[in-house]
Amino acid sequence: MKITFTLNGQTASGEAAPAQSAVRFLRDVMGQKSVKEGCGIGECGACTVIVDGKAVNSCLMPAAQLEGRVVETTEGLEKDGQPHPLQTAFVKHNAIQCGYCSPGFLMNAKALLDHNPAPERDEVEKALAGNICRCTGYQQIVDAVLDASEVMRKGE
Amino acid sequence: MREHIEYFRPTTVDEAVAALTDEAGIIAGGTDMMIDLRSGSFKGSRLVDVTGIEELRVLKEEGDTVIVGAGVKIEELRSNELVRTKLPALAQAANKFAGLQVRNQATIGGNVGHAAPCGDTHPPLILYDGVAEVAGPGGREMRPVAELFSGPNRSALKAGELLVRFILKPDTAALVDFQKIGRRKDLAISRVSLAVLADKNDKGLISRAKVVLGACMPTTRRMPRTEEFLNGQAPSLAVFREAAGLMAAEMIEVTGRRPSLAYKEPAIQGLLMRMLLPLIRRF
């Protein structure tokens, strides 16, 4: 079936198999290699993308449900050759080691800051609870998100 | 992933019911069905995606009830003002449900339809005397939520039936609470879940108590003897301890002495006592 949707601000379309997951469709058909299939059963959050402003696990969503929706992936974070403040903050705070979980964390964090530009630490922790990182121990990631929220509010 | 699966996205309940043959499975948020597809445990040949049906997304007050569409997302239950004020136990269950991404996708109807013994929405739905409107080939009928489960992961819904909405009765009792015990703070599968409601009369006695235990038995159910015992009692630690012992006995009558009992018996007792404590300290 043909899926037409908005991908990182551009109209896009691709052919999905019936019952294909959104993560396989986004990676294999649409070339969005930032979207990782980690556990495939909604436990790890590595496949997190933003659909209509909300963070979702793309492994648990059939590609068919992307029809007509607005989808954001990490490929769309960079603007005019500049990394997104979240990406800059992740690097600055060493919130990355192997990097496999990073796109999922970035998209979940972006959805949070889009709705709540000044979250408290416990709100960041609650929002990110669905993402697993086995390298960093999470503190650096939470620090990075709080730092990015400050930078974004100052409009730097 | 089998390629021959047919995908159908109806826009009305009638269209959906007509498409729900024996070979069909329902998909809404996908948080259970996509896992069943991946593992191969879904053997059907047709997926009926009910996310395009407007009627399933209703969430409103109607008279002295609150109507919750089967397609309402768990995150909406967590954040919606009507749910938070009128159905706090349901909002609390939603707050402790999985992680944000899953809450953004999963629906209350899916949580009921999947019939996992640990389904976090089951205790609050039963606590609020939830009745489900079920659409089927013969039309629509109302069924108590407690009768929608026939066993662990076995729904009492028949092929061709679709959950449309839940009708819940808000309760103004002084104490309304939902708590669960999992292996970690977030993203935890409930090992024990408990929804409790209790009020006191002008003499300070417990005037009515409702206790719904989830995740410990094949299906979630009320604990009638525990409720009867609490009614009319003056709240005290000794009374709560006795109630907790009764609840454990009621559970064991259903489950027998399973290996997990060594953990679950004290866990449910401690949880019930902790949840009833505000009846002494407050109100």
What ipTM did this prediction achieve?
A: 0.94
Residue B187 has pLDDT above 90, yes or no: no
Q: What percent of chain B has pLDDT over 90?
A: 90
Residues sharing a CB contact under 8 Å with residue A96, sequence separation 6 or more, in sequence order: A90, A102, A135, A136
Give the sign of the dihedral formed by CA B87, CA B89, CA B90, CA B91.
Answer: positive
The span from the CA of B13 to the CA of B136, in Å, is 9
Q: Is B92 helix (H, G, I), strand (E, B) or coil?
A: helix
β-pairing verdict for B6-8 and A70-72: unpaired
With tokens 């954001």, the residue in question is A72
Q: Is B189 on the interface with A (CB under 8 A)?
A: no
Q: Please give the pLDDT value at position B80.
A: 97
CATH architecture under which domain A85-154 falls = Orthogonal Bundle (1.10)
Residue B30, SS3?
Answer: coil
Structure tokens, B63? 């008279």
Contacts of A64 in chain B (CB under 8 A): 7, 9, 49
Domain ranges of chain A: 2-75, 85-154
Give me B52's structure tokens.
Answer: 């395009």
Residue B27 touches chain A, beta carbons under 8 Å? yes
* B180 — pLDDT class (breaks 50, 70, 90): very high
Percent of chain A having pLDDT more than 90?
Answer: 97
What tokens were used for A29? 């058909």
For residue range A97-155, list pLDDT tens digits in order.
999 999 999 999 999 999 999 999 999 999 999 999 999 999 999 999 999 999 999 98
Under 8 Å between Cβ of A70 and A5: yes
Q: How high is the pLDDT of residue B213?
A: 96
What residue ranges define each of the domains in chain B, with the CATH number in brackets? 6-52 (3.30.43.10), 54-168 (3.30.465.10), 175-281 (3.30.390.50)
B34·A62 Cβ contact <8 A: yes
Whole-model pTM above 0.90? yes
Pinpoint the alpha helices (H) of A45-138.
Answer: 85-92, 102-115, 121-127
| Interface residue B112 vs chain A (CB under 8 A) | no
Average per-residue pLDDT in chain A?
96
Residue B189 has pLDDT above 90, yes or no: no
CATH T-level assignment (fold) for domain A2-75: Ubiquitin-like (UB roll) (3.10.20)
Task: Report the SS3 class of residue A49.
Answer: strand
